[in-house]
Amino acid sequence: MTSKTPIVQLGAEVLRWRAQPVDDFACSEFHKLIETMHEIMLEASGVGIAAPQLGASWQILIIASRPTSRYPHAPEMPPIVMVNPSFEMVDSTLYKDWEGCLSVPGIRALVPRYRAIEVQYQDQQGETHRLALQDFPARVFQHEFDHLLGLVYLDRVENNQDIIAETEFFKRIAA
């Protein structure tokens, strides 16, 4: 994989597979994949990415909330690589907000997500961590975690009228 690796698009089978856990943290392919994921996410102005989006069915995701052309109002946080992640809701309240996806270009949708979660994951060396996330970073995590389950954000939309063209989304946030 290189930084020219294309982002897998909706309809590709790998986006519907349940990703496999990582068990070899010394594997050079594993470390190269993480490097490539980070490069492609930055190039595409993404705030997160999951390994299946690059055609690799492994339980790896990166969340990297920051203001970008795609999410101009996103809060700033350092990128975090999460391997074999899981989460628990801290607050069962669901709230809808806009999401888009690098694998589903051109549209946005209102998606219900938990506002506050606690994530458990392993880092690139296999060390276990826990992290509390809320609001936008919690949304990004849940979006990327869905990719590891073989889901895309459109699977979570409650009403087709909550789906709009990305051009309309940008008009709404500029208003």
- Whether residue 99 contacts residue 153, with contact meaning beta carbons closer than 8 Å, is answered with yes
Tell which residue, 153, 156, 154, 147, has the closest CA to residue 59: 147
Say which amino acid occupies 162.
D
34 band by pLDDT with thresholds 50, 70 and 90: very high
Secondary structure class of 22 (helix, strand, coil): coil
pLDDT value at residue 89:
96
pLDDT score, position 2:
47
Quote the CA–CA distance of 144 and 129 in Å, as a whole number. Answer: 18
Residues carrying an active site annotation: 144
Model confidence over 52-61: pLDDT tens digits? Answer: 999 999 999 9
Which pLDDT does position 117 carry in this prediction?
98
User: What mean pLDDT is reported for the chain?
Assistant: 95
Predicted structure pTM score: 0.95
pLDDT band for 4, please (50, 70, 90 cuts). Answer: low
Spans of all domains in the chain: 13-174
Question: Rounded mean pLDDT of 21-50?
Answer: 96
Report pLDDT digits (tens) over 146-163.
999 999 999 999 999 999
147: annotated binding-site residue? Answer: yes
Check if CATH label 2.60.120.260 holds for domain 13-174: no
Residues 6+ apart with CB under 8 A from 166: 100, 105, 106, 107, 108
Question: Is there a binding annotation on residue 73?
Answer: no
Which tens digits make up the pLDDT trace of 93-148?
Answer: 999 999 999 999 999 999 999 999 999 999 999 999 999 999 999 999 999 999 99
